[in-house]
């Protein structure tokens, strides 16, 4: 289904995750983040780029893996995306929800 995000029709699934990551832009990310109550900073965008690259390379995302990424610690990750960091980070990054997330 399509959803209007930041003035762009974006394909999303029933949970609001983008189904076509090529539609992702910084503006779309900022709009999704705002829906999640997050205002994106340079650190957020640095982590988003890391997440998008990992997924593009077919790698599995985990909170532990992100904590060991050198981009942020696990504690910082929870601070940037409070509540459900991996779900929120992937949603804002325009990539599918990790299978490890319920």
Residues classed as catalytic = 101
**Which residue from 93, 88, 71 is spatially nearest to 35, judged by alpha carbons?**
88
- Which residues, at least 6 apart from 22, have a Cβ–Cβ distance to it below 8 Å? none
Distance between CA atoms of residues 68 and 37, nearest Å: 26
């Amino acid at each position: 289904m399509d959803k209007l995000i930041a003035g762009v029709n974006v394909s999303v699934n029933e949970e609001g995750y983008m189904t076509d990551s090529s539609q992702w832009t910084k503006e779309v990310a900022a709009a999704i983040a705002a829906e999640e109550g997050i205002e994106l900073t340079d650190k957020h965008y640095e982590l988003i780029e890391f997440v998008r690259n990992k997924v593009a390379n077919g790698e599995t995302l985990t909170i532990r893996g992100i904590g060991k990424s050198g981009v942020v610690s696990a504690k910082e990750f929870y601070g940037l995306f409070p509540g459900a960091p991996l779900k929120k980070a992937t949603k804002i990054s325009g990539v599918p929800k990790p299978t490890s997330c319920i």
